[in-house]
Amino acid sequence: MAASNIRYNYVIGDIQGCFEALKILLKTIQFDADQDFLWFAGDLVARGENSIGALRFIKKLVDKGVAATVLGNHDLNLLAVARGTKEINPKDHIDDVIHALESDDLIEWLRKQPLCLFPNEHTVLTHAGIPLNWTVEQTAVLAKEVEVVIGHDDFDVVDAFLANMYGKEPNCWSDDLQGHARLRCITNYLTRMRLTNAEGRMEFSFKDSLDDPMPEGFQPWFDFESKAAKTHQIIFGHWAGLQGKTITPQIQNVDGGCVWGNQLIAYRLEDQQLFKVDNPMMSSSS
């Protein structure tokens, strides 16, 4: 997707509406829209101070061809709320998006964004990661199945998916899965996964750090031998407790937990350097 004259590619972790932190981060990396390219790891909106500002800004960057984003679970939640298939969570600050004059345009744009991107031939980006038993090629194909439905011209198809999107079952992949159960399982792997067992069965309750006790039989998805990581570097956000941890040279987290008062992260692909900025909206309480 990125042009050959690009100087630097940066993968930016979960923004969650922390627009002020994003602006500081772009100054820190000296982002130049004429030379650089931004890859967003999803969760553009939700619990930060300015979801509408962040979404407008990122949409402009994508429309200009200097950025791309995958969808995260909070982005999908915004779509569900906007389409009336889910009630708004009081913890989510997305009313500004729902009630914006250009809300329809923003939602229309958001639902056409992918679940999986390839920043280069050696790198794959999804919001939550890739389960142990999927290859990169399989991941791209399965992501496309969901993307086609979310971006469908028939809103009956879109709304049916969004209405059936939430749920913990099926929690393990099978090629035999069909219909909304299949789409839900794919979506959960790519946007909600943290822990699995050795068969790839997901566990949804754990959201803490790697030092905290985990449910018996479950480990972080990246602790298992990964088919995808054998061929590509996997970059993901979603797990604030990881704080942008480099899991292995082939697996990199970029969620610094900015919305929780921690940091917003940019990961430069060319030299694997991490750039971190504090959330300025939390400074008065620190």
Identify the pLDDT of residue 221. Answer: 98
Identify the pLDDT of residue 282. Answer: 77
| Average pLDDT of the segment spanning 18-46 | 98
Between residues 284 and 152, which one has the greater pLDDT? 152
% residues pLDDT > 90 (the chain): 96
- 42 pLDDT exceeds 60? yes
Scored b (16 or more CB within 10 A) or e, 185-197 reads bbbbbbbbbbbbb
pLDDT tens-digit readout, 137-172: 999 999 999 999 999 999 999 999 999 999 999 999
- 92 pLDDT exceeds 60? yes
- How far apart are the C-alpha atoms of 160 and 84, rounded to whole Å? 11
Domain 9-285 homologous superfamily, CATH? Metallo-dependent phosphatases (3.60.21.10)
**Domain limits, the chain:** 9-285
* pLDDT band, very low/low/confident/very high, at 6 (cuts 50, 70, 90): confident
263-268 sheet: strands from edge to edge = 67-69, 37-40, 9-12, 263-268, 273-278
- How far apart are the C-alpha atoms of 7 and 104, rounded to whole Å? 34
Contact 185, 168 (CB under 8 A): no
For residue 38, the cross-strand partners are: 10, 67
The two tokens of residue 73 are 């679970």
* pLDDT band, very low/low/confident/very high, at 283 (cuts 50, 70, 90): low
Identify the DSSP state of 246: E
- How far apart are the C-alpha atoms of 22 and 6, rounded to whole Å? 21
For residue 69, the cross-strand partners are: 40
Identify the pLDDT of residue 276. Answer: 98
* pLDDT band, very low/low/confident/very high, at 1 (cuts 50, 70, 90): very low
Identify the pLDDT of residue 4. Answer: 53
* pLDDT band, very low/low/confident/very high, at 123 (cuts 50, 70, 90): very high
| Average pLDDT of the segment spanning 39-45 | 98
pLDDT tens-digit readout, 165-208: 999 999 999 999 999 999 999 999 999 999 999 999 999 999 99
Closest CA to 18 of 42, 43, 54: 54
Contact 239, 43 (CB under 8 A): no
| Average pLDDT of the segment spanning 132-140 | 98
- 214 pLDDT exceeds 90? yes
- 242 pLDDT exceeds 70? yes
Closest CA to 223 of 210, 237, 240, 241: 210
User: Mean pLDDT, the chain, as a whole number?
Assistant: 95
Closest CA to 197 of 106, 132, 112, 278: 132
Question: How do beta strands 219-220 and 233-236 pair?
Answer: unpaired
Side-chain-side CA neighbours of 148 within 13 Å: the count stands at 8
SS3 category, 274: strand
Identify the pLDDT of residue 32. Answer: 97
% residues pLDDT > 70 (the chain): 97
The two tokens of residue 81 are 């709320």
- 286 pLDDT exceeds 50? no
